[in-house]
Amino acid sequence: MIAIFGLGNPGREYEMTRHNVGFMVVDEIAKKLEIDFKPGKGDYLISPGKYKGSEFLLVKPLTYMNNSGIAVKDVVERFKLDLKDVFVICDDLNLPLGVIRLRQKGSDGGHNGLYSVIYHLKTTDFPRLRCGIGNPEKMRNMVDFVLSRFDEDEIDKLNEMIGQAVEATFCFISDGILTAMNRFNKKVKPKDKTP
């Protein structure tokens, strides 16, 4: 059994904010497969699904971003999951908007949700998919930035990225993390420094 965790914050005030990209991706997967989220036995919404013969769970922690690990650990223990089958999807302000990056394991990269997951699972050894939300130099308060909504002129790029993230997640489910990394990790072009 594979569990796909989309990280985000519950509540209408957080809908369509940058920090909720993980929620957006699992919502889109549920929509594509016509499956619904229901309350789980812990602080999360859950939706069982099937893709190309592989069974999986979509999970949206309701613990708020900074305590995501509580819900992740609960699901991992309740369903006796192997860590290689735990797939965490979150935003990343170190990646440009529209860029996705898959990893087999790694640090939290300054992301509080990933930090919580690592803390509660007591390991960095689980696959994850990070979705770029940009990082404008003009905005110094990163909390305000990640909790801000996407601008109108960013929506097309956001939707394209969510589509890529959905396809990458399907690839992970059917073919594993290495194939998904090879297929979906693209090099980020360096910023042009000319004036």
Is 193 part of a structural domain of the chain?
no
Q: Which of 2-6, 180-184, 186-190 has the lowest mean pLDDT?
A: 186-190
Q: Residue 124 pLDDT more than 60?
A: yes
Q: Which of 2, 6, 9, 19 is catalytic?
A: 19
Residues in the chain, overall count? 195
Q: CATH code at 113?
A: 3.40.50.1470
Q: How many domains, in total, are found in the chain?
A: 1
Is 32 part of a structural domain of the chain?
yes
Q: Which residues contact residue 33 at a Cβ distance below 8 angstroms, ignoring those fewer than 6 apart?
A: 49, 50, 51
How many helices (H) and strands (E) would you count in the chain?
Answer: 6, 7
Q: Tell me whether residue 19 is one of the annotated catalytic residues.
A: yes
pLDDT tens across 11-67, in order? 999 999 999 999 999 999 999 999 999 999 999 999 999 999 999 999 999 999 999
Does this model's pTM top 0.75? My answer is: yes
Is 190 part of a structural domain of the chain?
no
Is 191 part of a structural domain of the chain?
no
> Where does the pLDDT of residue 187 fall: very low under 50, low under 70, confident under 90, or very high at 90 and above?
low
